[in-house]
Amino acid sequence: MALIEVEYLRKEFKRQKRKDGFWPLMKSLVHREYEIKTAVENISFTIDRGEVVGYIGPNGAGKSTTIKMMVGILVPTSGIVRVNGLVPYENRIENARRIGAVFGQKSQLWWDTPVIESLRLTKYMYDIPNDRYERNMKLFNDVLDLDEFKKVAVRSLSLGQRMRADLCAALLHDPDIVYLDEPTIGLDVVVKERIRQFIREINRERGTTVILTTHDMADIEKLCSRVMVVDHGKLMYDGNLETLKNDFGNMEKMEVDTDEPFAMSEELRRMGVAFGLTEENRTQLTYDKNSINSTVIIKWIMERYSVRDFIVKETEIEQIIRDLYIHLQQQGTPVSAREEALI
């Protein structure tokens, strides 16, 4: 049986219509008009024990809303969520015992309390036995290095320290599932790497199921075996990362600095290269890396121009999602990425 089952999950929010002008505003005091906004629209998926799932999509796509329904914070408008056989919003407390949650922007710890005391309170709240608490603390300390700030009040921690403390608190009670909402947001490279390492170890050694949302492609690449892409409340893609990148991340961008201005070339265009923004001596080129190799292009250019510098950029996750979205809108008529770039 799957650990998490989500079927036709839907969440609508009623939002008051904003009015401009004096009279419409006065009218709205008496008669309020509402509009329905669908944040999550008929999403279905199952997640098995031990999976590490990246739940990605643009801002406002419905990621956090879905996670909040899985955690039990929000009640769905319709559809089914079952975690460990329990309906989270009906058995919120029972469900909370078995999960850990970290919301990147907001701490779950007690604000004015020193980290070590905050963790001790977590121990009491989750009824964690002494030996398990000591063992986990020692283990987590090795990776997260909590000692250096354990006596500092949570409110005085730096973002990176706070995130490490929150991760520790979320995993002390050995949860089956841990939900991480943007766990690496705003962190420096070193802390990001440390946190990724921690998540990897927890998953490998304890078989903890991890569900994380992120905007950082590296999080996905280094951690996730599976990716779910959501946009406008709909699940756009559910599968492994490689397939996603091959299907939709095939457009590569190259920036070339040349001594003389670069002239558009029909020959390059025929090779499948599209010209993007050109300013002075810097030229942007996009191409499908599955049909043409960057070395072929750079060789062609170097034979004709003197090249000062060039950069090859892989497609960003946001671009992949956009391409995926366009593709899904026109389902039935598969659009190749190359044609899109030319549009």
Partner 1 sequence: MRFLKLYARFIPIYFKSKTEHGFGFYMDFVGFALNHVVSYFVIWALMSRFQTINGWNMYEVMLMYTLNMLTFGIAAVFFFFQMTDVEEDVHMGTFDSLLVKPINPFVHMIIRAFGHFFLGDIVIAVGMLVFCFHKLGLSLDFGSAIAFIAVLLGGVLVQAAFIVISGSACFWLVRSRSLMNMVLFGIRDLMDYPVSIYGTVLRGVLTFVIPYAFVNFYPAQLILNRNDDALFASWLPYATPAVGLLLFAIGYRVWNAGLNRYQGTGS
- Site residues for partner 1 per CB under 8 A: 13-14, 65, 68, 71-75, 89, 92-94, 96-97, 99, 101, 103, 106-108, 110, 112-114, 117, 120-121, 124-126, 153
Parallel, antiparallel or unpaired: strands 52-56 and 34-47: unpaired
Q: From the CB of 99, what's the least distance to partner 1, in Å?
A: 7
Q: From the CB of 89, what's the least distance to partner 1, in Å?
A: 6
Nearer to partner 1, 45 or 89 (CB): 89
Identify how many contiguous H helices and E strands the chain contains and give both numbers.
13, 13
Q: From the CB of 154, what's the least distance to partner 1, in Å?
A: 10
Neighbours of 145 (CB within 10 A): 14
State the amino acid at position 87 in one-letter form: V
10 Å CB burial of residue 273 (0-12, 13-18, 19+) is buried
Nearer to partner 1, 17 or 308 (CB): 17
Is residue 98 within 8 A of residue 126, CB to CB? The reply is no
Nearer to partner 1, 96 or 168 (CB): 96
Neighbours of 22 (CB within 10 A): 8
Nearer to partner 1, 65 or 258 (CB): 65
Q: From the CB of 78, what's the least distance to partner 1, in Å?
A: 13
State the amino acid at position 246 in one-letter form: N
Nearer to partner 1, 77 or 290 (CB): 77
User: Which helix (H) or strand (E) segment is 194 a member of?
Assistant: helix 189-206
Would you call 7 helix, strand, or coil by DSSP? strand
Nearer to partner 1, 8 or 111 (CB): 111
Bridge partners of 13, per DSSP, are: 37
Q: From the CB of 271, what's the least distance to partner 1, in Å?
A: 51
Q: From the CB of 172, what's the least distance to partner 1, in Å?
A: 12
Q: From the CB of 134, what's the least distance to partner 1, in Å?
A: 17
Is residue 259 within 8 A of residue 305, CB to CB? The reply is yes
Distance between CA atoms of 266 and 123, rounded to whole angstroms?
68
Nearer to partner 1, 115 or 195 (CB): 115
Q: How long is the chain?
A: 343
